[in-house]
Amino acid sequence: MEKILILDFGSQYTQLIGRRVRELNVFCEIHPFNHFPAIDESVKGVILSGSPYSVRDKNGPRIDLSEIRGKLPLLGVCYGAQYLAHFFGGEVAASDSREYGRANLKWIEEDNLLFNQVSDNSQVWMSHGDTIVRLPKNYILLASTADVEFAAFKIEDEPTYAIQFHPEVYHTTEGSKLLKNFLVDICGCSQNWTPDSFVEATITQLKQKLGNDKVVVALRRSGFNCGRCLVA
């Protein structure tokens, strides 16, 4: 089954990226940056999440991207974007005023796959303390807001993209369109992850796994199992 891998640097929004990708009928898995699985043919692309850390922190999460960058489509979001700038010859600095909340794209590079059909002036949601002040040489700027020049960029001749804002949050109004552009037009995903396909595949797997064994399940009259929602 084809899939997208999301590499988690610990952002509060990482699960939201996963849900948005799934809503576009593309299967994805979230893995912590320090337990990243081997890449095989089923992996169509990789997304780097945001993080509560700064790329300038000595203890900030680091990862070897040599098996991924340039070989597979890659999208860096927020920390992921700054990571792609900072560790490949660009510069990230503490910003004078922290950038949280609404912003609008004031300029978009024409003719780029990631922003295909995204409207001028589209609203995006920023949440970052640092800002990128210089891109590496072979990087191409894709979009800017009034306050953030390097709001989106790509690496020349590589399917590597980066966005400073958060496409996964509700307030980035065309975030889903942008993710769809990445998943479908850049990664080539076929959008065949649906409830029906899940049911069919799972029933087949369960039959194989369980054979003629007996199984017991506790019916729980509970709406919430989710660990994050412990405080109901």
Partner 1 sequence: MDSTVAGVLLHKAIGSNLTCIFVDNGLLRKDEFNNVLDSYKGMGLNVIGIDAREKFWNDLKGITDPEMKRKTIGRDFIEVFDVEAHKIKEVKWLAQGTIYPDVIESVSVNGPSATIKSHHNVGGLPEKMKLKVVEPLNLLFKDEVRRVGKALGIKGELLGRHPFPGPGLGIRILSDVTPEKVRILQEADAIFVQALKDWELYDKVWQAGVMLLPVQSVGVMGDERTYENVVALRAVASTDGMTADWVHLPYEFLAKVSNDIINKVRGINRVVYDISSKPPATIEWE
Q: 61, 47, 83, 173: which is closest to 121 by C-alpha?
A: 173
Measured CA to CA, the distance from residue 193 to residue 93 in angstroms comes to 40
The two tokens of residue 190 are 């076929």
Tell which one of 59, 66, 117, 225 touches partner 1 (CB under 8 A).
225
Give 90 or 167: the residue with its C-beta nearer to partner 1: 167
The residue assigned the tokens 């169509």 is 44
Q: How many CB atoms lie within 10 A of CB 134?
A: 15
Kindly state whether residue 229 participates in binding partner 1, applying the rule CB under 8 A: yes
Looking at residue 33, the DSSP 8-state letter turns out to be G
The two tokens of residue 47 are 């997304």
Give 125 or 139: the residue with its C-beta nearer to partner 1: 125
Measured CA to CA, the distance from residue 76 to residue 7 in angstroms comes to 10
By CB under 8 A, what part of segment 145-174 binds partner 1?
Answer: none
Q: What residues are paired with 127 via a beta bridge?
A: 100
Any catalytic annotation for residue 200? Answer: no
Binding mask 13-52 toward partner 1 (x if CB under 8 A, else -) reads --x--xx--x----x--xxxxxx-----------------
Q: 161, 45, 138: which is closest to 88 by C-alpha?
A: 138
Q: What is the smallest separation between the CB atom of 62 and partner 1, expressed in angstroms? A: 12
Measured CA to CA, the distance from residue 164 to residue 142 in angstroms comes to 11
Binding mask 202-221 toward partner 1 (x if CB under 8 A, else -) reads xx--xx-xx-xxxxxxxxxx
Any catalytic annotation for residue 168? Answer: yes
Tell which one of 10, 60, 109, 140 touches partner 1 (CB under 8 A).
10
Per-residue CA distances from 151 to 8, 13, 25, 109 (Å) = 21, 18, 27, 11
With CB under 8 A as the contact rule, which of the stretches 9-17, 108-116, 144-152, 160-168 interacts with partner 1?
9-17
Q: Among the options 28, 128, 166, 174, which is catalytic?
A: 166
Any catalytic annotation for residue 171? Answer: no
Q: What is the smallest separation between the CB atom of 101 and partner 1, expressed in angstroms? A: 17
Q: Which residues are known catalytic residues?
A: 78, 166, 168
Binding stretches for partner 1 (CB under 8 A) = 8-10, 15, 18-19, 22, 27, 30-35, 61, 195-196, 198-199, 202-203, 206-207, 209-210, 212-232
